[in-house]
A and B are shown apart, each in its own frame.
Chain A
Amino acid sequence: MAGHKWGRNLLGGAAVLATIMAVVFGLPAIDRAVPADRAAPAQRHTIADGISVVPPTGALIAKRTRIGPETGSILFLIGPARYVISVEPFTGDLPEAASRLRTKIQSMRGYQVTSPETPMVTDSGLHGLGSSFTAPGRSGRYLAFVVPGRTVEVTINVSETDFQQGLVPIDESIASIAWNGGR
């Protein structure tokens, strides 16, 4: 009788362990095995008017819009992160572009900008200004760049607890944003 109980207890414990293993290793293995039809090719993607970007490794293209030659956007999905780059006509300077984007973010209810804006420069020499924000259940970063007559707005929005490693390929992708002079 005692042996029977011991065996059942072992079986129960093993079942719990097996379920956890299935979640930790099984699901990611299935995810890796399923091919992604909308995977973003690792090549430069033009968004609008000569503004282009190299997507992060493993990103999916969730949405792509193009309204005329001067306006367009691309939305990548990288695990739990949404990474959006949009190009629009704009006549102001960089602080104004950053301020405009910050206002858009803060107008979403519950969104709170958490740090002062800091400058950054892409590999091709584009100057940007951005900051971070937080909201219930997500956190993110925004950046604005200006090229003559255009603004490039970048927003990253993450709804996951552990995303520190995931930021590296996105940072690399942001650094790849370039403008070819509108040619």
Chain B
Amino acid sequence: MTVSQPRRWGLSVRPTPRAARALKSLRLPAFWILCALLALSAWRLGIMLHSPLARFPTATITAILLFGLWAVPFWLFIASMDFLEREPPLLMATAFAWGAMVATMAAMPGNRALLGLTAKLVSPDFAMAWGPAIASPLIEELLKALGLVMIVLVARKQINSVLDGMVYGALIGLGFQVVENIFYALNSVEMANEGDTAAPVVATFFLRGFLAGLWSHTLFSALAGAGIAWFLVRTDKTLIVRWGGLLVGMGLAWGIHFIWNSPLLMDGVGGSGVGLLIGLLLKGMPALLLAMGLLWVARHREANYYIDKLEELRDPKIATRGELHTLRHGHLRADARRYGKYRAGTAGQKAVKALQLAQAHLAVELSRAPNGLATGDPILLHSRDEVLAERQRLRVLAHPEAVASPLRPVIPRVAVLGMIAAIILCGLVFFAISAMHGA
């Protein structure tokens, strides 16, 4: 099989050089500015939580626990987006912390000031209706994007594809969303004036966590992250085009946030619970579909880039043709693990996953060493030996090839599960709206 280079995705990834080491960041002034900002914001967040924690300990702890747990599946999903070239956990945590602490703490005075200015310079009426749609996207998207800029400044080499930008952007947004929701919950406790009760927290958890805002900030920031990463990675384009890409990403984040916060379709369409549900879907679904589409393209471009490196070896002991095809698609990788379990039990499933990870590791290492295995590079040889060892493990289990099942359904299982989850979610939201006298 001949691999013609460069392919469409040949310039979509800038491999992280081996020389990139976390400790090098300590020498950068931006690293210390980042540390100072995180420390200051953590201190400010602590001050802001101190009062509700002292007056409403049960409600505050409930809010932190509920929204903390709510973030876990999102974190796992975001972390799994980049299967082939996993991001450093410390950098992922930094992104989350920026969103949770720096962006939220800075957004509060900024939002309030911009709302006040809108009321004074245009009119209080206008500020009431459109203020949240204007102020919040402008201030919050800017502050969250600065988090990714900071990550670029301290670990430039880690942002080597559009997918990486989406991962870090989404984590910044997730952090922001969690802390914002906690404060909304505490606000409702304060408003209730009922003392230390968790009921307003639970109501806010449902409303903010599911009914409105299931994917809000996480999605906005993922789009902004895609734009920033595209600017960084596509150095083959002219500077104007790169700036254009960056502005498109930021513009999408701002525009979708604007629509989401705007009074348009605030009460849905028509006069029933179904109308409100349709309104929510009309506001949220195009953005979700856009982001998922972009994610799909970014994931496949990155996967194709790395798997081409394995394909160039033309060694079926490293990866067979079937495995190469499987590795390029997330749903096929998952199906291959299930097929391994079907053929050789849990040991087979684990062995397939281990082989896939070893192959991914080798592919990433190959991208960092342009001359390949021929140079006798010890890291590459070690990675190759890991693949061969995992292959041997599979052979012992009488399942020598980690491919997707030939009998798998035509429609990928992930698509079916996604559809079922979406229908159940819509049903739950409709039920909730009806229960809240909305129907």
Known: A16-B146, A132-B200. 15 other contacts (CB 8 A): A6-B28, A13-B29, A24-B109, A28-B109, A77-B124, A79-B115, A80-B112, A109-B276, A110-B438, A115-B199, A137-B132, A158-B187, A160-B112, A161-B104, A163-B187
B:129-162 near A, CB below 8 Å? 131-132, 139, 142-143, 146, 149-150, 153
Which one, B110, B116, B149, contacts A79 given CB within 8 A?
B116
Q: B110 contacts which chain A residues (CB < 8 A)?
A: 23-24, 27-28
- Band of interface residues on A: 35 or more
Report yes or no: B115 in contact with A38, Cβ–Cβ below 8 A: no
A/B interface sample: 15 pairs, CB < 8 A:
A12-B149, A19-B146, A24-B110, A30-B113, A38-B123, A80-B111, A109-B273, A109-B276, A112-B436, A115-B194, A118-B193, A131-B192, A134-B203, A137-B212, A162-B48
Alpha-carbon distance between A82 and B125 when the two chains are bound, in angstroms: 10
B:336-363 near A, CB below 8 Å? none
Report yes or no: A9 in contact with B436, Cβ–Cβ below 8 A: no
| A residues lining the B interface (CB < 8 Å) | 6, 9-10, 12-14, 16-17, 19-20, 23-25, 27-28, 30-31, 34-38, 60-63, 75, 77, 79-80, 82, 106-112, 114-116, 118, 131-137, 139-141, 156, 158-164, 167
Main secondary structure of the interface of A (DSSP, over half): mixed
Q: A137 contacts which chain B residues (CB < 8 A)?
A: 132, 184, 208, 212-213, 261
Report yes or no: B193 in contact with A158, Cβ–Cβ below 8 A: no
Q: B149 contacts which chain A residues (CB < 8 A)?
A: 12, 16
Q: Which of B111, B191, B204, B207 has the most CB of A within 10 A?
A: B191
Q: A135 contacts which chain B residues (CB < 8 A)?
A: 207
Would you call B230 an interface residue if the criterion is a C-beta within 8 Å of the partner chain's C-beta atoms? no
Would you call B127 an interface residue if the criterion is a C-beta within 8 Å of the partner chain's C-beta atoms? yes
Would you call B53 an interface residue if the criterion is a C-beta within 8 Å of the partner chain's C-beta atoms? no
Report yes or no: A132 in contact with B115, Cβ–Cβ below 8 A: no
- Known contacts A109-B268, A161-B180, A162-B48; A23 and B142 CB within 8 A of each other: yes
Would you call B196 an interface residue if the criterion is a C-beta within 8 Å of the partner chain's C-beta atoms? no
